[in-house]
Chain A
């Protein structure tokens, strides 16, 4: 290693040491030797605390915006505690706080002491889907796509869903829980009633600058799963329930901007 490479490697080591200090669950009382900071004792602790506090403060602010239902369920202080546990266990991979919450649901699911509230992870998944779809591009469906649908054999067509759509299979009635938490004062009876509702797959989509969401039947979920997998229209229909009305679905889909395009099969691969 030449002198320049060694000098750069020294900085790499220093930077790793500082990040380790920032994301340690408990701050160290003295700086690591690799760090080479000038500050000691109380001044070191104050400087480290300034960085640790600033990073976490920004993370909590971002996560509050991204997970409004979770925030309403937990309240300010427990939510902030959860954010801190997430911050230290899943340090962000990107320099973009708008995407910091992408692993929060996984973090919640892995926390043993939250098992008493098993719907929290699914609720976080719904919050995240609602947040994420409005960052996706709007549907690009054109008249030529619809013409292709009208004129071509469905065994030769593939329907591409808009980027701002998500199918969420939750084990808990998270849409009912989401509705119950739209009120600033959540009624305990309403919460219990929501929890007694059956769980159903959820379809989340971007409409204008807003996220929309509705429950879908198992048949429609099968159809959507197939479309998400990118199979041919005839194969997707085979995955839908017998009573699934594809004509009505297409009409609704066009109206709400769920379809990004319809293309001929020879342009795409087929399943199996």
Chain B
């Protein structure tokens, strides 16, 4: 089972020169939409040596006004060029009608309500993407700083139902769960994350989880912000080990987007994930404990 890293622009040259033994890389789809710029050449070269997972930040799958046709068209063209191992985006909205401008796209991952209405919007939009791409996609659970009183589902139920109705999978972001638990002010955030994972395991279709994301977070003023700015925290590693026990070994990505470290630090985080994946695949709980101790 594979462990990968998010490949970001400051590492392009070094990554291409070293061709490190990482199982896959993940890039933000929108950064490679243009087939004629330098970034497109870099991705084509990287793709020759590595599996690539395309992770979008702009489809805005939960937007009640629907998808941006041009955005979907550009994603489809990128998927055709790169032939990625996985295609994913987020359980968010970003688009809405706007007087005088047609519609506006916030270029952010905005929270959705876990309601029947939001589920219907998601199912329609996800199905449209999957029909256009002719493949299932993964939808990632969000970190959020605001949420909604009205809800018809718990978050795990929402993803389970979305998968049943649309055929998509879940990109399980363990750090996002931790950020939400910390911002909710629960006494034991790690226990809250594990309870979330347990509930998902109870209600989810088999093989719902198609990929796992791990990342760092930081405190900014009174909130924990999912800024992908540091190493994976010890509670997130422990929750990750719990997720592996619940869902089995899944391709796992280390995300790091701000205050980018050296490539070696990033690769080192991926090696920690790989040790946990290997231990889980081997069914050796003693090895899992040892790998977890080393990770934290």
The chain A residues found within 8 Å of chain B, CB to CB, are: 4, 6-12, 14-16, 18-19, 22-23, 35-39, 42-44, 46-51, 54-55, 58-59, 90-98, 100, 134-138, 164, 209
Name B128-172 residues within 8 Å CB distance of A.
145-150
Nearest B-chain residue to A44, judged by Cβ: B146
Complex: how many Å from CA A163 to CA B140? Answer: 37
Interface 1/0 per residue, B76-89 and A, CB below 8 Å: 00000000000000
The answer to the question of B221 belonging to the interface, with a C-beta cut-off of 8 Å to chain A, is: yes
Complex: how many Å from CA A137 to CA B77? Answer: 15
- A135: which B residues are within 8 A, CB to CB? 34, 36-37
Residue in B36, B71, B93, B220 whose CB lies within 8 Å of A94: B71
Nearest B-chain residue to A94, judged by Cβ: B105
Name B177-209 residues within 8 Å CB distance of A.
none
A-B contacts, 17 of them at CB < 8 A, read: A4-B117, A6-B117, A7-B120, A10-B115, A10-B117, A12-B65, A15-B110, A16-B97, A19-B96, A36-B148, A47-B145, A91-B104, A95-B58, A95-B68, A95-B95, A96-B33, A209-B38
- On whether the beta carbons of A8 and B64 are closer than 8 Å, the reply is yes
Name B102-119 residues within 8 Å CB distance of A.
102-108, 110-113, 115-118
Nearest B-chain residue to A14, judged by Cβ: B113
Residue in A4, A7, A46, A92 whose CB lies within 8 Å of B145: A46
Min CB distance B169 to A, Å, is: 22
Nearest A-chain residue to B146, judged by Cβ: A47
Min CB distance A107 to B, Å, is: 13
- B107: which A residues are within 8 A, CB to CB? 55, 58-59, 92, 95-97, 100
- A136: which B residues are within 8 A, CB to CB? 36
Given A11-B64, A98-B31, 6 more pairs with CB closer than 8 A? A11-B121, A38-B146, A39-B147, A93-B104, A96-B30, A135-B36
- On whether the beta carbons of B146 and A55 are closer than 8 Å, the reply is no
- A209: which B residues are within 8 A, CB to CB? 37-38
Nearest A-chain residue to B41, judged by Cβ: A209
Min CB distance B273 to A, Å, is: 26
Interface 1/0 per residue, B2-35 and A, CB below 8 Å: 0000000000000000000000000000110111
- On whether the beta carbons of B147 and A37 are closer than 8 Å, the reply is yes
- On whether the beta carbons of B98 and A91 are closer than 8 Å, the reply is yes
Interface 1/0 per residue, B205-231 and A, CB below 8 Å: 000000000000000111101000000
The answer to the question of B59 belonging to the interface, with a C-beta cut-off of 8 Å to chain A, is: yes
- B30: which A residues are within 8 A, CB to CB? 95-98
- A18: which B residues are within 8 A, CB to CB? 110-111, 146
Complex: how many Å from CA A91 to CA B96? Answer: 11
- A9: which B residues are within 8 A, CB to CB? 64, 117
- On whether the beta carbons of B108 and A51 are closer than 8 Å, the reply is yes
**Which 10 residue pairs of A and B lie closest in terms of their CB atoms, listed nearest first?**
A95-B58, A7-B117, A12-B64, A47-B145, A47-B146, A50-B145, A91-B104, A11-B117, A95-B105, A11-B64
Min CB distance A222 to B, Å, is: 29
- On whether the beta carbons of A37 and B120 are closer than 8 Å, the reply is no
Residue in B64, B70, B108 whose CB lies within 8 Å of A15: B64
- B102: which A residues are within 8 A, CB to CB? 93
Residue in A39, A95, A100 whose CB lies within 8 Å of B71: A95
Residue in B38, B108, B148 whose CB lies within 8 Å of A54: B108
The answer to the question of B291 belonging to the interface, with a C-beta cut-off of 8 Å to chain A, is: no
- B96: which A residues are within 8 A, CB to CB? 12, 15-16, 19
Nearest A-chain residue to B183, judged by Cβ: A47
Nearest B-chain residue to A136, judged by Cβ: B36
Interface 1/0 per residue, B44-75 and A, CB below 8 Å: 00000000000001111011110010110000
- B223: which A residues are within 8 A, CB to CB? 46-47, 50
Complex: how many Å from CA A271 to CA B248? Answer: 67
Nearest B-chain residue to A138, judged by Cβ: B36
- On whether the beta carbons of B105 and A38 are closer than 8 Å, the reply is no
Residue in B34, B105, B112, B121 whose CB lies within 8 Å of A98: B34
Nearest B-chain residue to A8, judged by Cβ: B117
- A4: which B residues are within 8 A, CB to CB? 116-117, 120
- B222: which A residues are within 8 A, CB to CB? 42-43, 46
Complex: how many Å from CA A89 to CA B4? Answer: 40
Are A55 and B64 also in contact (CB < 8 A) when A93-B102, A95-B71 are?
A: no
- A10: which B residues are within 8 A, CB to CB? 115, 117
The answer to the question of B243 belonging to the interface, with a C-beta cut-off of 8 Å to chain A, is: no
Residue in A46, A59, A93, A164 whose CB lies within 8 Å of B101: A93
- A22: which B residues are within 8 A, CB to CB? 106, 108, 110
Min CB distance B158 to A, Å, is: 13
Min CB distance A271 to B, Å, is: 30
- B146: which A residues are within 8 A, CB to CB? 18, 37-39, 44, 47-48, 51
